Amino acid sequence: MKETVRFAVTPEEAGLLVAARASEAADGPEASAAADARLIAGKDPKEKALARAKLVLSRRSLKPSRVPTLPTGLFTGALMLCAYFLGVMTDRFSSEGAVVNLLSPALLLILFWQIALYALLLVGTIAAPLGWKPKWPGRELFAALLSRLRILTVSKQTLRERPLWLSLLAPALRSEAARAFHLAAAALGAGLLTGLAFRGIGTAYTVGWTSTWLAGHEAWLAALFSATYGLVPLELFGIPFPDAAAIAEMNLRVNAQGSPDAAAWLLRLMGLVAIVVILPRLLLAFFAGRRAKAARTRFVWIEKQKEPVPVSTQRSLPSLSEGATVLTTVPADEALRRRTAVVLTQPDLHWRTIDVWKDEPETVLASVDTEAAVLLFDAVTTPEDEVHGKWLDAVAKRRDGNLLLLVDLSKLEEQFGSGSERHTARKALWESFAAERHATLRFLRLH
């Protein structure tokens, strides 16, 4: 019976799980990985899944996957650039020359669109605990475009991993899409102001209004202007808001000169765009960016617990130059030398006994004459990051990350038997340890 569990993982943990799942989807499940992981991690679903992923990667000589880099910045920049020029052109098309129509349909549409959007965002935030969320087609399109991009130079394994990463990155992509659209709206407002500024270069502005529907309804018009342009508190600087009679005289069809105080109205117009469009959108973009960053540091992984079908998989060893040196903590008797030569297919091996607790890896490796160095540890010993991990890191630097690790099971099999639970658990522990260090692991057995 399958059981679906969900748990939070870091990007590094997700890389292990994604690489293991993609590999098993392509090449079949790894033999006994689930059972061995249970011996290592117990019943905790997350620890068991991570242990199983490490075993799969170790047995197949694979490395953890990395979070794919998506061109969200490029998309965001292109969207902002288009919105900015749209704002400039919107202002240019709404009026001619240096005439500013305070009832420009394009301007009012942009302003009321922002207000409607803010109201919808507020309702969505309040209703989110009840399970209702508004649909944002633009954000879905933004995420879909990013997910469809392909990089031709990536490997087949990476292409298999990509859909898994995209499902994990979906919340982050939605937040990044929200940030992109908020920044684009702010750029639209900046474009409006830029177009307004450039239209007045070298001439005087004429500010007023013209409308077929509101002509003769000066009281309504005064209320509308008070609710919009009145939001900019010029009264604090001694500039009073005009009354209905003064606003009626600003009808450009009756008075082509418009308002005698054009500068005050221009300040109100620019302040209104900043207050309603630019500043709120920048603030929303900031919070959307924080949500996107948080979503990229913590993913939700869905795991179906089941027993896999055993399939034997063995990957090739890293290439070794002839005359490799085996650095071992195990007494190198003739039987061990013979079994090591068979595994490495290297008849001419140099041997050197090391003490991983006392010797310094860099000092030992500096005195090794051969190009290749291979570590051989005893399976009876518990692998430690500060000790065995330090040696693996040092050898990995020497071989540019192409790391091979040998573990001798002889003493472990003699003490507990090859089929015992202790033997299986310790073997799985070494496999998990090797996977964390991106090392190719091979066991040396008595038989």
At residue 67, the pLDDT reads 87
C-alpha 128/C-alpha 115 separation (Å) is 20
The answer to whether residue 290 scores a pLDDT higher than 90 is: yes
- The per-residue pLDDT for range 189-205, each reduced to its tens digit, is 999 888 877 765 556 77
Is-contact 11 300, C-beta < 8 A? no
Per cent of the chain over pLDDT 70 is 87
Tell me the angle at which helices 105-127 and 72-94 cross, rounded to the nearest 10 degrees.
140
CA-wise closest residue to 149 among 136, 168, 165:
165
pLDDT band at 401 (very low <50, low <70, confident <90, very high): low
**Mean of pLDDT over the chain:** 81
- The arithmetic mean of pLDDT across residues 339-365, rounded, is 85
- The per-residue pLDDT for range 153-194, each reduced to its tens digit, is 445 557 778 888 888 988 898 899 999 999 999 999 999 888
Per cent of the chain over pLDDT 90 is 15
Is-contact 394 384, C-beta < 8 A? no
> Which of 288 and 233 is assigned the larger pLDDT?
288
Helix (H, G, I), strand (E, B) or coil at 288: helix
pLDDT band at 97 (very low <50, low <70, confident <90, very high): low
Is-contact 351 325, C-beta < 8 A? yes
Environment class of residue 400 by beta-carbon count within 10 Å: exposed (0-12), middle (13-18) or buried (19+)? exposed
Q: Write the CA distances from 421 to 33, 39, 263, 425, 443, integer angstroms.
A: 14, 8, 85, 6, 17
DSSP 142-154: HHHHHHH---TTS
Mean pLDDT is lowest, of 43-52, 138-147, 163-172, 259-268, for: 138-147
Quickly count: other Cβ atoms within 10 Å of residue 276's Cβ. Answer: 20
| Residue found by looking up tokens 């018009």 in the block | 221
CA-wise closest residue to 14 among 363, 341, 295:
295
At residue 306, the pLDDT reads 52
Positive/negative CA dihedral, 30, 443, 57, 4: positive
Mean pLDDT is lowest, of 39-48, 173-182, 202-211, 217-226, for: 202-211
C-alpha 303/C-alpha 82 separation (Å) is 42
At residue 284, the pLDDT reads 95
C-alpha 429/C-alpha 356 separation (Å) is 19
- The arithmetic mean of pLDDT across residues 351-375, rounded, is 87
pLDDT band at 33 (very low <50, low <70, confident <90, very high): confident
